[in-house]
Amino acid sequence: MNNYFNWDYEELYKELQTNKEGISDSQRSQRLIDYGKNTLIENKKKSIPRIFFEQFLDVLVLILILAAIVSFFIGNGESTLVILVVILLNALLGTLQHLKARQSLESLKRLSAPYAKVLKNGVVTELPASEVVIGDVLILEAGDVVAADGRVIESFSLQVNESSLTGESESVTKIEQVLEEKKLPLGDQKNMVFSGSLVTYGRGKVIVTATGMQTELGKIADLMNTTQEKKTPLQVSLDDFSKKLAVVILMICGVIFLLSLYRQMPLLDSLMFAVALAVAAIPEALSSIVTIVLALGTQRMVKENAIIKELKAVESLGSVSIICSDKTGTLTQNKMTVKEIYCNNRFQKSKEMSFKTSVENYLMKAAVLCNDSLTLEEKQIGDPTEIALVNWAENYGVDEVELRKEIQRIAELPFESDRKLMTTLHQVEDKNILFTKGAPDVLLERLAFSETEEGIKPISNEEKERIKKANEEFSARGLRVLGFAYKERREKGELSLVEEKDYTFLGLIAMMDPPREESKQAVEDCLKAGIKPIMITGDHKVTASSIAKELGILKEGDEAIDGRTLNEMTDEELDSKLDKISVYARVSPEHKIRIVSRWQQKGHIVAMTGDGVNDAPALKKADIGIAMGITGTQVSKDAAAIILTDDNFATIIKAVSNGRNVYRNIQNAIHFLLSGNTAGILTVLYTSLMALPIPFAAVQLLFINLVTDSLPAIAIGVEKGNHMVLNTKPRNAKENILNKKLLKAIFIEGGLFTICTLLAFYSGLKAGGAQVASTMAFATLCLARLFHGFNCRGEESLVKLGLFTNVFSILAFILGVALLNAVLFIPACQQLFNISPLTIEQIATFSLLAFLPTCIIQLIKGIKSL
């Protein structure tokens, strides 16, 4: 199915861009979204018949339709009916599997704010977001969703969460600034707010600079429009195979038709003879089998926390060679955590504090009291760094709520980005104490004393230097560092900024969003499987590099670059360094698309993970888009082919393993189908060249293709996975699924079946004439293919695979034999399928000949495994 940006929508989009009506940008955007929503509803109605009829456009299906028409005109109604049933079943299955809805614009609409507070003539008015225009002044408060892009003209500790655009969960502090910063990454534009982001703290005023499709959110929607999806390697391979097979079939059928006329056979008989060969040659069950195998693969992957939205993604996973992963929440826990402390002139792990000294106790109190995060009914609200401080204290049994009740806040000086400090005043016992936290370099200049386990003493330059080096060491490892200090307040009156001096130093607390425990092993598995993991994040380069090194993504000799450096590189320069760049930091949506495109230009199959609106275009551009199910926005989920229900990078590796196994099963199923069909082609071709009777009736060939093709092939498709597939490199996406090794096996095995089928044919011809010969050939080929289902389960012999490890193969064989016996021995079925009654000796003959190829194949496999 197409998305909103198709059909008449493109014309409406162009018309509204010209803006002949003079309407506002927001109104234009709203009309686009409304039209998109209505179009989706209409297209859902149109899509079912449209997709259904598209199933008949395949060349191989058209040949089958031609066969049905010919059968009808020559009076063979049974063949016509069976052919049409097969075609309709395939079309219905294809329609059911491919119906899907694209709802990206509807999701973008849900992200936009329905109302906005606008300052007009000194009065605050609440307006629908669609009526906001450039030049309006928005009033923003904590909890508001920003209705448009705008420049901050007044800020009172305004903090905005831009994770839906940047992918980073940490709120950004906004300041009043005149300078233009449009060339900076979104997270660095401190004086701008963007549509769809959430105000988490403070308040402010913003003058609107862009609305509707001109906002950053709108630009991402436009990127979704211009980004096109790619066919998977299997789609390309099967399309190529279908075209070539169709050409070969038509040429052979044409030759057979001319030979029949040369032998002076009636025109309609000659035509039916050619049609019989076409029916024998076409693996009409192939598309259905592939779809069923992919569908079964998706069910297995759901159990591994991966929801597959598009069946083709299952197969593509098997050839993934590049995984571009977001950092926050995918490789990391998406939860700021206190890692290390610098206190008492020494470094300590966060879990190694003893709190036997007053300085450590005061540091803990400062972390909880000088803190605006809240815990409401098991839910924590606030800045991630402040939540991390509270969680750290709770690990040592400190109850945040009880401590704040016991030591209540009297006054405060809120955090401001220009001074980079926050101060709160509390009564501790009989003293008024100021607790201050902030940037270590700023706090360092305001220190007069230092407290250690030895007591309080004036701070020396040497000690300040040690604190500075500790901060630099933490920062170099990608940790976020906060400094803490306190002082006893002796002044009276209202708390003022001038009091933020002469502090006693308590310590430094370093935090980070730690890697998931399983991520390191997943990266190792990734590298072992020949897949290059790449981190693409909106975070700072130092932080991203630190995490990447810890996980094994950034190795010796690899590079980490940021968005600015990427902007300065030409495509040729980027291509020359592509193999060495493992980390991309501070990137925009356009950067992500560019990175994916460059890898694709080199012939790689690329998987891309993401959770924000900013990730959606790249998710769509990648061969496989993987969205986060927990933290992901609806837009990213709509654009992706796979959704992870646990937001875990390790799940991707499990999905890759599953994808490789699915591809192997599909290849084995194709092996099974084509080796049997090859036998049918060679048998018909031989009898034609030797001027023998037609070996199969068309209805018999359809029985073989429908019953003895489908049942074993489906059983092969559910063969259990093998974890050893991760020890091999990804397959070459350009390699045809019918490689030389597979083609060789198909023709050798097809030749074996042909020999045994012809031996049965000659035996029947000698004993009872053409109809008995046809019955013997039909029964032999049919039973031989049922046995062959066991051969195609894998490359190993049944001794190694285990006969009963795949119960579905046993069931397929039993059911196939039961249906074959029904055709051979029930009178009504004998008449429908042109079957001649057989003697006990003839039954024993075709059974032995049918089993012989499997004995030979298993013997060869057993010898190879020695």
Phi/psi of residue 397, each to 5°?
Answer: 85, 10
Q: Which two tokens stand for residue 680?
A: 């049918």
- Of 136, 149, 326, 513, catalytic: 326
Rounded to the nearest 10 degrees, how much is the dihedral formed by the CA atoms of 468, 471, 477, 480?
Answer: -150
Question: Can you say whether residue 174 is alpha, beta or left, with left for phi > 0 and alpha for psi between -120 and 50 degrees?
Answer: beta
Find all residues with CB under 8 Å of 737, minimum gap 6, and list them: 234, 237, 238, 241, 666, 667, 670
Nearest to 509 by CA among 613, 622, 629, 371: 371
593-618 b/e (C-beta count within 10 Å ≥ 16 → b): bbbbbbbbeeebbbbbbbbbbbbbbb
Whole-number Å distance between alpha carbons of 538 and 165: 9
Nearest to 284 by CA among 662, 674, 717, 668: 674
Whole-number Å distance between alpha carbons of 286 and 670: 7
Question: Can you say whether residue 75 is alpha, beta or left, with left for phi > 0 and alpha for psi between -120 and 50 degrees?
Answer: left
User: What is the helix (H) or strand (E) element at residue 536, kind and residue range?
Assistant: strand 532-536
Whole-number Å distance between alpha carbons of 385 and 506: 18
Find all residues with CB under 8 Å of 3, minimum gap 6, and list them: 102, 104, 105, 224
Determine how many CB atoms are found less than 10 A away from the CB of residue 709.
26
Q: What is the DSSP letter of 629?
A: T
User: What is the helix (H) or strand (E) element at residue 858, kind and residue range?
Assistant: helix 840-864
Whole-number Å distance between alpha carbons of 546 and 585: 12
Whole-number Å distance between alpha carbons of 174 and 418: 10
Return the SS3 of 588.
coil
Whole-Å CA distances, 854 to 34, 215, 615, 684, 706 = 62, 66, 51, 22, 21
Determine how many CB atoms are found less than 10 A away from the CB of residue 820.
19
Return the SS3 of 458.
strand
For residues 82 and 71, is the Cβ–Cβ distance under 8 A? no
Whole-Å CA distances, 168 to 326, 540, 603, 612, 635 = 10, 10, 30, 9, 16
Active-site residue, 326 included: yes
How wide is the angle at C-alpha 600 spanned by C-alphas 599 and 605, nearest 5°?
100
Whole-number Å distance between alpha carbons of 323 and 325: 6
Which residue has 């201050």 as its token pair? 436
Nearest to 709 by CA among 772, 777, 792: 792
Determine how many CB atoms are found less than 10 A away from the CB of residue 560.
20
Whole-number Å distance between alpha carbons of 789 and 809: 7
User: What is the helix (H) or strand (E) element at residue 367, kind and residue range?
Assistant: helix 358-369
Pairing mode, strands 137-141 and 198-210: antiparallel
Bridge partners (DSSP) listed for residue 424: 412, 435
Whole-number Å distance between alpha carbons of 474 and 510: 7
Bridge partners (DSSP) listed for residue 332: 515
Active site residues: 326
